[in-house]
Amino acid sequence: MNRLSGKIALITGAAQGLGAAMAAKFVEEGARVVLTDINAAGAAEQAAQIGAAARSIGHDVTSPEEWEAAIAFAEAEFGGIHILVNNAGISAGTTVEATSFEDWRRVHAIDLDSVFFGCKLALPLMARTVHATGVRGSIVNISSIAGVIAGHNSAAYNSAKAAVRHLTKSVALHCAKQRYGITCNSIHPVFIDTPILDGITSRFGREEGLAKLGRQIPLGAVGEPDDIAWAAVYLASDEAKMVTGHGLYVDGGISAM
């Protein structure tokens, strides 16, 4: 459908899971994409599978210097950035009493600080790219339904993902005030069948683990990576040109309970 024709995207955490699915879907919809990941070999493998419209670079999203390198790489390879997807993240399931300060800081560094660095450091190039091409820009931050609905055993993860939701709103208002032509929205997935669920599927077995999680969701099933990829395509497309500062729940109805 070429919903993203003429656009250049940078997607973090793209060696597997949601990032890889979004990269493939973006290219199918006409975009050129830079896949970044701390797992440089995995990102390169995904880019090779996608084809000529994809490039990859190793990228520790907690490092401002590596953010600058990834952004410069996107400009050198494709000429700029229209779409930034802050997807890289980790899960952590411990209570507030059981969470060490080291783990607290690590979760926030990867899940929250990386989004701050991405928005702060990519926006100047994005604004220049939008101005030069006349093609609208988008930031899509992957939060979680855990940033809206808390759990007793996810203190750090709940905190970081909730902060991503609110940071998204601040960035959206900043971009609007600056008249950048860039929107900023967050996506809030429920359980999605990606490696982030390996802990529970290895503990209970894949089939039972997914069924156990699915029983918590009104629609009765764990989501698929393309469920999030399609949501990201929408928010990055011109169909969503009047949508900014919004949190899109892809949660099978769990937030309605």
Q: How far apart are CA 93 and CA 107, in angstroms?
A: 10
φ/ψ of residue 93, rounded to 5 = -120, 80
Q: How far apart are CA 99 and CA 120, in angstroms?
A: 29
Query: According to the model, what pLDDT value does residue 92 have?
Result: 83
Q: Which member of 157, 180, 234, 249 is catalytic? A: 157
Q: What DSSP designation does 109 have?
A: I
CA 138 from chain center: how many Å?
12
CA 14 from chain center: how many Å?
9
Asked if pLDDT for residue 32 goes beyond 90, the answer is yes
Could you report the per-residue pLDDT of 74-110, keeping only the tens digit for each? 999 999 999 999 999 998 889 999 999 999 999 999 9
Measure the CA angle with vertex 99, ends 40 and 17; round to 5°. Answer: 30
Could you report the per-residue pLDDT of 109-159, keeping only the tens digit for each? 999 999 999 999 999 999 999 999 999 999 999 999 999 999 999 999 999
State in Å, rounded, how far the first CA of the chain is from the last one.
35
Q: Is the pTM of this model over 0.75?
A: yes
Query: According to the model, what pLDDT value does residue 202 have?
Result: 83
Percent of the chain with pLDDT strictly greater than 70: 100
Measure the CA angle with vertex 169, ends 167 and 174; round to 5°. Answer: 95
Distances in Å between the Cα of 107 and the Cα atoms of 14, 38, 71, 104, 194 are: 18, 15, 23, 5, 18
Q: Is 1 exposed, middle or buried (0-12, 13-18, 19+ CB in 10 A)?
A: exposed
Query: According to the model, what pLDDT value does residue 199 have?
Result: 80
DSSP bridge pairs for 185:
140
Distances in Å between the Cα of 126 and the Cα atoms of 17, 99, 134 are: 25, 37, 11
Tell me, what amino acid is at 122?
A
Please choose, from the candidates 155, 153, 141, the residue with its C-alpha nearest in 3D space to the C-alpha of residue 113: 141
Structure tokens at 177: 């005030």
234 is catalytic: no
Contacts of 137 (CB under 8 A, 6+ apart): 81, 82, 83, 126, 127, 129, 130, 180, 181, 182, 183
Could you report the per-residue pLDDT of 47-81, keeping only the tens digit for each? 999 999 999 999 999 999 999 999 999 999 999 99
